[in-house]
């Protein structure tokens, strides 16, 4: 009898083992239902690019292809450092900058801290594992949805700022005549610096209005509660 | 089309706030003091009339072709002859595409493009240097979020000013627009 109970317990433990071997995704790196993730990723692109864009989605070990594309763009829901937003990269951005996000996801999902990931990314640019875009290009971030999730799982929502980003490695606001909050500005200075061009207020409102259902479903999944 | 210098300076300066009108190229009269990287002037390229401000890279690589275009036209060269001379300039290496990403502002509402033999007011916009890129590369659609103008070594991605921005720019520059359109004979 004792042997039978022991055997049953061992079988149960073996059956449960894969669940224990697979750590839960960090709270700042939420897994989403695939359909929701795809809808969110595509919301970054202008409507005429959505049908033909390649798609990546996050599974428990990292990003995987959900479909190949028929145009130059690759859409993904980025989560680096708990900054959750959809973005669609052109071919140059897909080659040069998307790998940073993909590697960061794999590291974070295997338990690496965000600080260590930032260090490895900086090292990757310094050593040539990552590179700045080598030609003019752009990425679309035309969604109004962007959230910050800290390592304790606390979710905050960014003000809607749908925009287009042009690759601007090493450019500064002085170079481009940019100023924060104006029609054009740099998000940062560095190999992955971007010239940000926000859409206008009327265009932004159209995007916000069109995202009502997606916003509700996403906020339920990530646990965002409006104040 | 000759425009008096003070009006020209105003027109060029209307393109981008904080930008001092300046025109260092040999063929264009200099005006104003340079305190930032931008160079502004009123282009007449291809028969159009529009103020534009190039950043340093654009002033180095694109402005010379614009200036030569003006000189050739002032000497009486035809549209086709100017186009051939500019194309030959690229072959000879006299002109080159921008070597780094950059920006040019055309935010003035006093922007006129030649259409069907007449000048028509066009939308204010910002341009990003995009040598040899196409609409397929950037997902461009004319008149929408972004699109490529003149694909080639001096190709540009056009980002139109938003609806609210266009209205504000026009309100701010209405007197200038009226004055320029009076000079150009645009009704």
Q: What angle do CA B52, B55, B61 make, to 5 degrees?
A: 90
Chain B residue numbers touching A72 (CB-CB < 8 A)? 136-139
3-state helix, strand, coil in chain A (%, to 5): 40, 20, 40
Kindly list the domain boundaries of chain A, sorted by start residue: 24-164+202-222
Interface check for A75 against chain B (CB to CB < 8 A): the answer is no
Cβ contact (<8 Å) for A90 and B138? yes
Share of chain B above pLDDT 70, in %: 82
User: What pLDDT score was predicted for residue B19?
Assistant: 46
In angstroms, the separation between the Cα of residue A200 and the nearest Cα of chain B is 5
pLDDT category of residue A51 using cuts at 50, 70 and 90: very high
Chain A residue numbers touching B16 (CB-CB < 8 A)? 177
User: What pLDDT score was predicted for residue A182?
Assistant: 83
- What are the backbone angles phi and psi of residue A17, rounded to the nearest 5°? -55, -45
Chain B residue numbers touching A190 (CB-CB < 8 A)? none
Q: Which residue has the tokens 């010239």?
A: A195
**Cα–Cα dist B97/B154, whole Å:** 6
User: What pLDDT score was predicted for residue A180?
Assistant: 83
pLDDT category of residue A13 using cuts at 50, 70 and 90: very low
Residues B70-107 pLDDT 10s: 999 999 999 899 999 999 999 999 999 999 999 999 99
pLDDT over 50 at A68, yes or no: yes
The ipTM of this complex is 0.85
Dihedral in degrees, nearest 10, Cα atoms A126, A96, A104, A21: -120
Q: Of residues B186 and B14, which shows the higher confidence score?
A: B186
User: What pLDDT score was predicted for residue A4?
Assistant: 57
**Cα–Cα dist A122/A133, whole Å:** 15
pLDDT over 90 at A20, yes or no: no
Residues A171-197 pLDDT 10s: 999 999 999 878 899 999 999 999 999
- The answer for B 129-158 residues in CB contact with A (under 8 A) is 129-131, 133, 136-139, 141, 144-146, 157
Q: Pick from A71, A140, A166: which is nearest to B101 by CB? A: A166
Interface check for A167 against chain B (CB to CB < 8 A): the answer is yes
Share of chain B above pLDDT 90, in %: 72
User: What pLDDT score was predicted for residue B20?
Assistant: 39
The mean pLDDT of chain B is 86
For residues B20-43, average pLDDT: 64
Q: What is the pTM of this model?
A: 0.87
User: What pLDDT score was predicted for residue A62?
Assistant: 95
Residues A134-178 pLDDT 10s: 999 999 999 999 999 998 889 999 998 999 999 999 999 999 999
Q: Pick from B101, B141, B146: which is nearest to A171 by CB? A: B101
Considering only CA atoms, which of A184, A189, A196, A169 is closest in space to residue B15? A184
pLDDT category of residue A37 using cuts at 50, 70 and 90: very high
Interface check for A69 against chain B (CB to CB < 8 A): the answer is no
pLDDT over 70 at B60, yes or no: yes
Residues B155-164 pLDDT 10s: 999 999 998 9
Would you say how long chain B is, in residues?
A: 187
Residues A74-127 pLDDT 10s: 999 999 999 999 999 999 999 999 999 999 999 999 999 999 999 999 999 999
Across the A/B interface, how many CB contacts are shorter than 8 Å? 95
CB atoms within 10 A of CB A205: 13
């Amino acid at each position: 009898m004792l042997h039978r109970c022991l055997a049953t317990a061992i079988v149960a433990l073996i059956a449960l083992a894969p669940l224990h071997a697979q750590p839960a995704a960090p709270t700042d790196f939420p897994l989403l239902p695939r359909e929701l993730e795809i809808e969110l990723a595509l919301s970054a692109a202008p409507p005429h690019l959505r049908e033909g864009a390649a798609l990546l989605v996050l599974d428990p070990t990292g990003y995987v292809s959900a479909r190949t594309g028929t145009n130059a763009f690759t859409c993904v829901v980025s989560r680096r450092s708990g900054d959750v937003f959809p973005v669609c990269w052109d071919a140059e951005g897909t080659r040069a900058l998307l790998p940073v996000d993909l590697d960061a996801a794999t590291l974070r999902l295997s338990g690496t801290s965000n600080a260590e990931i930032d260090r490895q990314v900086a090292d990757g640019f310094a050593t040539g594992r990552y590179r700045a875009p080598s030609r003019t290009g752009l990425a679309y971030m035309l969604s109004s949805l962007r959230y910050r999730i800290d390592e304790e799982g606390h979710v905050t929502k960014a003000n809607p700022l749908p925009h287009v980003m042009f690759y601007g490695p090493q450019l500064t606001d002085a170079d481009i005549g940019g100023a924060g909050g104006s029609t054009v500005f740099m998000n940062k200075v560095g190999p992955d610096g971007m010239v940000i061009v926000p859409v206008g207020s009327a265009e932004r409102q159209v995007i916000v209005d069109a995202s009502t259902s997606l916003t509700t479903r996403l906020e339920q999944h990530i646990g965002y509660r409006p104040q | 089309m000759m425009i008096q210098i003070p009006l020209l300076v105003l027109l060029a300066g209307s393109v981008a706030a904080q930008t001092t009108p300046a025109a260092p190229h040999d063929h264009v009269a200099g005006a104003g003091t340079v305190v930032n990287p931008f160079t502004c002037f009123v282009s007449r390229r291809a028969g159009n009339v529009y103020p534009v401000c190039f950043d340093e890279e654009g002033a180095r690589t694109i402005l010379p072709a614009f200036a030569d275009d003006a000189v050739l036209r002032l000497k009486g060269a035809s549209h086709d002859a100017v186009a051939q001379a500019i194309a030959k300039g690229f072959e000879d290496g006299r002109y080159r595409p921008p070597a780094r990403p950059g920006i040019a502002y055309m935010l003035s509402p006093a922007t006129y493009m030649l259409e069907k033999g007449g000048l028509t007011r066009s939308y204010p916009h910002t341009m990003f240097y995009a040598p040899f890129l196409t609409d397929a590369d950037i997902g461009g659609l004319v008149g929408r979020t972004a699109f490529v103008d003149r694909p080639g070594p001096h190709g540009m991605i056009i980002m139109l000013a938003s609806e609210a921005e266009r209205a504000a720019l026009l309100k701010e520059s209405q007197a200038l627009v009226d004055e320029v359109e009076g000079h150009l004979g645009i009704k």
